[in-house]
Amino acid sequence: MELFSLFFGAVVINNVVLTKFLGMCPLLGVSRKTSSAIGMGAAVVFVIFGSSVFTYTLYYQVLVPLDLQYMDLITFILVIAAFVQFVELILKKYSPVLYKALGIYLPLITTNCVVLYVTLFNITEGFSFVEMIVYSLAAPIGFMLVLYIFSTIRERLDLADVPAAFKGNPIALIVAALMAAVFTSFVGLF
Amino acid sequence: MKSVLNYGMNLLKENPVFGLYLGICSTLAITINLNNALGMGLSVIIILTISNVVISAIRKITPDEIRIPVYIVVIATLVKAIELLIKAYAPAIDQALGIFIPLIVVNCIILGRAEAFASKNGVVASALDGLNMGVAYTLSLVAMSLVRQILATGIVDLSNPFTNTEIFSITLIPSQYTIPIFSSAIGAFLTFALLAAGVSAIKNAEEKKLKGAK
């Protein structure tokens, strides 16, 4: 039950995009089409899960025994960059179709702040291994959910008559404000 | 006077936050009050200036294929140094900004300036560019935090982060007329949307004027 509330809380109530404001660049950048939103979301889920397991193990098996905790930021960001590159290579070799679908979004994930946030959050919250697994799946799923809903709204927005100054990103941010209102209304459910 | 006006106009038109939508994660998250905005802004100015200088100084010996990892390591080292300094000397800022200090590593403005400017220009020019962009970022944070803080609490205050003493505090709106929603996530998105729309309205008007002149 505790794990479930951790999962649900990370997906909906403490959604990384709408309450922690992370991953805004991809939210505004790749939310124009539903298909690319799903592709980006799936890639982020995979990268966050993989690099979280990797950095968590690295932190507790290497950095803590050697008393090098202050190196966390540098090692984590390098692990993330290397992992993204690694995923790109593997996909290119074994699944060219998926690679084509995700291709352009993969390198962008390195600078997606959700990834670094989740890996650091796992450590600062003192999560156990199981909690870490649950959280690193739930947080990017929340990201994917928002990205998907957002892209469906944006496809409609393209056809709407928007005041000139609000065209493009400003109106998208108004949409985000309304979505944040919906998501925060779940607070207190658990 | 005219040069000041020109600088202001450029600041609006080429604003990294409201014009180019760079570094907006931290902008939305930490602009609840003026203290946070200034703390974040000053950290970014320092990191951006030093990282631009370092990256510009090593630009000739950095192999082109691995330049992005090199930049990221330089930036991450600086951010960690600043984070440790803030933790030691200004714990109030550390409490307020929390995880957003380490997240400066992935702030697009810093990597963006490294890639677009410092990797191609000399050390002095890069330092000035870093300072300039950092100030533009800080002013955007301050603008946004002023709107949110005044609407949500009616009070503008500033305190010294090192000693935690209050420098000034002005009440502008009586507490029964404040709109607390502006300190929440919804208010952050709304304020940002309105300010960005304002900037693009100014840009549109300017373009019209140019077309009319032709």
User: CB distance B204–A184 less than 8 Å?
Assistant: no
Residue with the two structure tokens 């038109």: B13
User: CB distance B68–A177 less than 8 Å?
Assistant: no
Interface check A186 vs B, CB under 8 A: no
Paired strand residues for B168: B158
Q: How many domains does chain A have?
A: 1
A22 occurs within a structural domain = yes
The CA distances from residue A97 to A39, A105, B84, in Å, are 12, 14, 45
Residue of chain A whose Cα is closest to the Cα of B23: A25
- Structure confidence at residue B51 (pLDDT): 93
Nearest to A177 among B76, B108, B190 (CB): B190
- Structure confidence at residue B214 (pLDDT): 63
Summarize the confidence of residues A112-137 as an average pLDDT: 88
Paired strand residues for B171: B155
Nearest to A176 among B26, B189, B198 (CB): B189
User: How much is the ipTM here?
Assistant: 0.81
Name residues of chain B where pLDDT drops below 50. Answer: none
The answer to whether the CB of B192 falls within 8 A of the CB of A169 is no
Residue B121 DSSP symbol: S
Q: Does residue A95 register a pLDDT over 80? A: no
The CA distances from residue B87 to B99, B101, B160, in Å, are 12, 10, 15
Q: Could you give the CA distance from residue A49 to residue B152 in angstroms, rounded to a whole number? A: 38
- Structure confidence at residue B81 (pLDDT): 92
Residue of chain B whose Cα is closest to the Cα of A29: B21
- Structure confidence at residue B1 (pLDDT): 57
Tokens of residue B115, six digits: 């890639």
Cα B86 to chain center, whole Å?
Answer: 17
Q: Domain residue spans in chain B?
A: 16-213
The answer to whether the CB of B174 falls within 8 A of the CB of A147 is no
pLDDT-based confidence at residue A1 (cuts at 50, 70, 90)? low
A85 occurs within a structural domain = yes
User: CB distance A170–B184 less than 8 Å?
Assistant: no
Structural domain including A85 reads 2-184
The answer to whether the CB of B89 falls within 8 A of the CB of B162 is yes
The answer to whether the CB of B44 falls within 8 A of the CB of B109 is yes
A190 occurs within a structural domain = no
Q: Could you give the CA distance from residue B113 to residue B56 in angstroms, rounded to a whole number? A: 11
A146 occurs within a structural domain = yes
Instruction: Using DSSP, state whether B120 is helix, strand or coil.
Output: coil
A189 occurs within a structural domain = no
Q: B69: burial class by Cβ within 10 Å (0-12, 13-18, 19+)?
A: middle
- Structure confidence at residue B82 (pLDDT): 92
Residue of chain B whose Cα is closest to the Cα of A74: B76
- Structure confidence at residue B49 (pLDDT): 93
The answer to whether the CB of A166 falls within 8 A of the CB of B193 is yes
Give A61-71 pLDDT, tens digit per residue.
888 888 888 88
Chain A CB contacts of B187 below 8 Å: 177
The answer to whether the CB of A89 falls within 8 A of the CB of A25 is no
Q: Could you give the CA distance from residue B193 to residue A126 in angstroms, rounded to a whole number? A: 36
Arithmetic mean of pLDDT over chain A = 84
- Structure confidence at residue A56 (pLDDT): 92
Q: Could you give the CA distance from residue B30 to residue B23 in angstroms, rounded to a whole number? A: 12
Tokens of residue B196, six digits: 């960005």
- Structure confidence at residue A190 (pLDDT): 59
Closest CA to B57 of B122, B113, B142: B122
Computed on alpha carbons and rounded to an integer, the radius of gyration of chain A in Å comes to 18
Which is higher by pLDDT, A94 or A56?
A56
Closest CA to A117 of A39, A38, A15: A15
Which is higher by pLDDT, A180 or B10?
A180
Chain B CB contacts of A184 below 8 Å: 184-186
